[in-house]
Amino acid sequence: MAISMDELWKQFCENLTNADSSEAFEQLRIRYLGKKGEITGLLKNMGALAADQRREYGQKVNELKERTEKAITEKAMQAHVKEVERKIAMTPKFDLTQPLKLEEGSYHPITLVQRDCEKIFASMGFTIEDYDEIVDDYHCFEALNIPKHHPARDMQDTYYLTNGQLLKTHTSAAQNAIMRKYGAPLRAIFPGRCFRNESTDACHENTFFQMEGIMIDENISISNLIYFMKTMLSEVFQRDIKVRLRPGFFPFVEPGFELDISCLICGGKGCPSCKNSGWLELCPCGMIHPNVLKAGGIDTEKYTGFAFGLGLTRLAMMKYGIKDIRDLNSGNLKSLSQFVQ
Ligand code: PHE
């Protein structure tokens, strides 16, 4: 005597309750719904039925098939969700707020010097700005009073992209955008990575860091520039630093200077490190050229300002006595991990 549909369903439900893995669900599917499955097999009984009962019987078998299919799928889904939840619960928790363990890493010397400078300038009312590394010709050159074919461009060859943009050669490339963003009065510093198409040696790299600063207000003069630079450098080196200005040419400042600091090794007496001059060249700077202020939308009748381009890479080398600039980009943990702070 063939098993009834009700009995088959009951038996299936019991088996389903005991199934707990994807293989078990698949086996049940084959056992009941496969080509030779038990429910599929019920259709074979059709032949024994009277013609008017076949239709109803067929419908019932199909309904049982659907119910069985649905029950297996639902249970399999639930089991899958449970499995995922179990895996999540087993994953070790990652706490973003945990402080960095110093034995696992250290800050790059340039990051350390940059943070020092940022802290000092922030305490003097400067905001810290970020800017792109990929810029256009206008921002890197033209807005800075360096028209196309100006010889000053020769000093700053860089890497050009196929769309005409370029990798910025100096942080001055951000001056125009920052003036336009905030207007005057303005005090801002903007550290950044710069690029130049240069061959490398112990003192030159194609990738280096600068920190630009600008201050624009009424009655800003060179004495303000000297004061801010002296204060900042004395803080960074933790000692009184003497500074001096020499004339220097940059199309975006007028007058332009090279700022030197008293030699850190001999204190200004003269030694091999400073070629016996007592001074080290550190930071080009000057009073912002009126054309640059105008391009930035600043009223030149009312405002003047100074700008400086501090070589952060250079500063890090001086502060930590690093002799070869290439060590800084080498990723050599042996030399870089000495600078834990
Ligand atoms: N941008 C110049 C350079 O990288 C430096 C500079 C900045 C000079 C600001 C004057 C004023 O060569």
Q: Where do the domains of the chain lie?
A: 5-90, 109-330
- Assess whether the C-beta atom of 170 lies below 6 angstroms from ligand 1: yes
pLDDT score at 287? 97
HSE-CB for 257 with a 13 A CA cutoff:
22
- 289 CA → ligand 1 middle, Å: 12
Task: Name the pairing type of β-strands 127-128 and 186-195.
Answer: parallel
Task: Quote the CA–CA distance of 242 and 279 in Å, as a whole number.
Answer: 9
pTM over 0.75: no
Find the helix packing angle between 312-320 and 222-237, rounded to 10°: 40
CATH number of 109-330: 3.30.930.10
The string of DSSP letters for 166-191 reads EE-SSGGGGHHHHHHHH-SSEEEEEE
Question: Which residues does the chain have with pLDDT short of 50?
Answer: 1
Q: Is the CB of 284 inside a 6 Å radius of any atom of ligand 1? A: yes
CA of 170 to the centre of ligand 1 (A): 7
pLDDT confidence of residue 1 = 46
In the reported structure, the alpha carbon of residue 236 is separated from the centroid of ligand 1 by a whole-number distance in angstroms of 20
Ligand 1, pocket-test mutation among 154, 168, 172, 292, most atoms within 8 A of CB: 172
Is 309 a pocket residue for ligand 1 (Cβ < 6 Å)?
yes
3-state secondary structure of 78: helix
What gap in Å lies between CA 307 and CA 220, rounded to an integer?
11
Give the Å distance between the CA of 251 and the centre of ligand 1: 9
Tokens matching residue 203? 């003192």
**Hey, is 302 helix, strand or coil?**
coil
Rounded distance, CA 157 to CA 169, Å? 8
For residues 79 and 54, give the distance between their C-alpha atoms in angstroms, rounded to a whole number. Answer: 38
Query: Rounded to whole angstroms, how far apart are CA atoms 12 and 208?
Result: 72
CA–centroid distance, residue 225 to ligand 1 (Å): 14
Centre of ligand 1 to C-alpha 169, Å, is 10
Question: Could you tell me if the CB of 307 is within 6 A of ligand 1?
Answer: yes
Instruction: Determine the Cα–Cα distance for residues 126 and 215; give it in Å rounded to an integer.
Output: 8
Q: Which amino acid is at 284?
A: P
Residue 281's H or E segment, with its range, is strand 279-288
Closest residue by Cα to atom 12, ligand 1, is 170
188, 127 Cβ separation under 8 angstroms = yes
**Residue with CA closest to ligand 1 atom 10:** 285
- Quick one: tokens of 227? 């004061």
CA distances from 319 to 120, 228, 232, 268 (A): 16, 19, 13, 16
- Using alpha carbons, select from 284, 290, 325, 329 the residue that is nearest to residue 156: 284
How far away, in angstroms, is 283 Cα from ligand 1 center? Answer: 8
Per-residue model confidence (pLDDT) at position 100: 66
User: How far apart are alpha carbons 17 and 122 in whole angstroms?
Assistant: 67
Whether the CB of 68 sits within 6 Å of ligand 1? no
pLDDT of residue 341: 55
Q: Is 79 exposed, middle or buried (0-12, 13-18, 19+ CB in 10 A)?
A: middle
- Residue 127 has a pLDDT of 97
Measured in angstroms, how far is the CA atom of residue 159 from the centroid of ligand 1?
Answer: 19
Q: What is the pLDDT of residues 292-340, one digit of tens each?
A: 999 999 999 999 999 999 999 988 888 888 888 888 888 877 777 777 6
The four Cα atoms 150, 154, 158, 164 give a dihedral, to 10 degrees, of 30
Instruction: Please state the φ and ψ torsions of residue 246, each to the nearest 5 degrees.
Output: -120, 155
For ligand 1, whether the C-beta of 120 sits within 6 Å is no
**Which DSSP symbol is given to 322?**
-
Asked if 318 contacts 239 with a C-beta cutoff of 8 angstroms, the reply is no
Q: Is the CB of 286 under 6 A from ligand 1?
A: yes
